[in-house]
């Protein structure tokens, strides 16, 4: 690899470290001077690579879209979105709780209905058993069914 290629690669690597926020020798601001310092070369050396300077300018314009004012706007927007999501989720949770309460009430009503029917079935089974006993005794009706004392 030629020396100019090695220098170009050092400059590109330095620019990449600055963009990623992991500089070793600078304050993490993307400037030609910082890229040269990060790459451990002189600024004059950097200016011999117009393609790298163009990449720096392109990255600077791209990063300027994320300036603090834009970031603050993004933070405000995201906080607003978060608050909206919380409201929506709280409303959903409230609705789900109301549905759960109604379901519990329906289950209680159904359980009561089943218990009453079970009692009715038990009463009918008792009457059927007494009727069978009457048939076996030859027609003498037990007092529970006839309502008369034996």
pLDDT of 103: 97
- The series of mean pLDDT values per 10 residues for the chain, 150 residues long, is 90 91 87 94 94 91 66 82 93 95 97 97 96 83 54
pLDDT of 99: 96
Instruction: Provide the 8-state DSSP code for 68.
Output: H
pLDDT of 63: 75
For the chain, which residues make up each domain, given as ranges? 3-65, 66-150
Encoding tokens for residue 12? 């590109």
pLDDT of 69: 61
**pTM of the predicted model as reported, rounded to 2 decimal places:** 0.45
């Amino acid at each position: 690899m030629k020396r100019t290629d090695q220098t170009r690669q050092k400059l590109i690597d330095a620019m990449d470290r600055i963009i990623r926020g992991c500089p070793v020798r600078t304050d993490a601001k993307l400037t030609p001077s910082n890229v040269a310092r990060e790459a451990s070369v002189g600024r004059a050396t950097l200016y011999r690579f117009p393609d790298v300077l163009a990449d720096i300018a392109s990255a600077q314009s791209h990063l300027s879209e994320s300036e603090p004012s834009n970031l603050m706007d993004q933070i405000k927007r995201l906080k607003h979105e978060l608050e909206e999501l919380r409201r929506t989720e709280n409303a959903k949770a409230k609705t789900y709780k109301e549905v759960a309460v109604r379901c519990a009430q329906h289950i209680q009503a159904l359980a009561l209905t089943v218990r009453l029917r079970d009692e009715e079935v038990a009463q009918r089974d008792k009457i059927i058993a007494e009727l069978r006993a009457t048939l076996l005794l030859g027609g003498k009706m037990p007092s529970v069914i006839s309502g008369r004392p034996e």
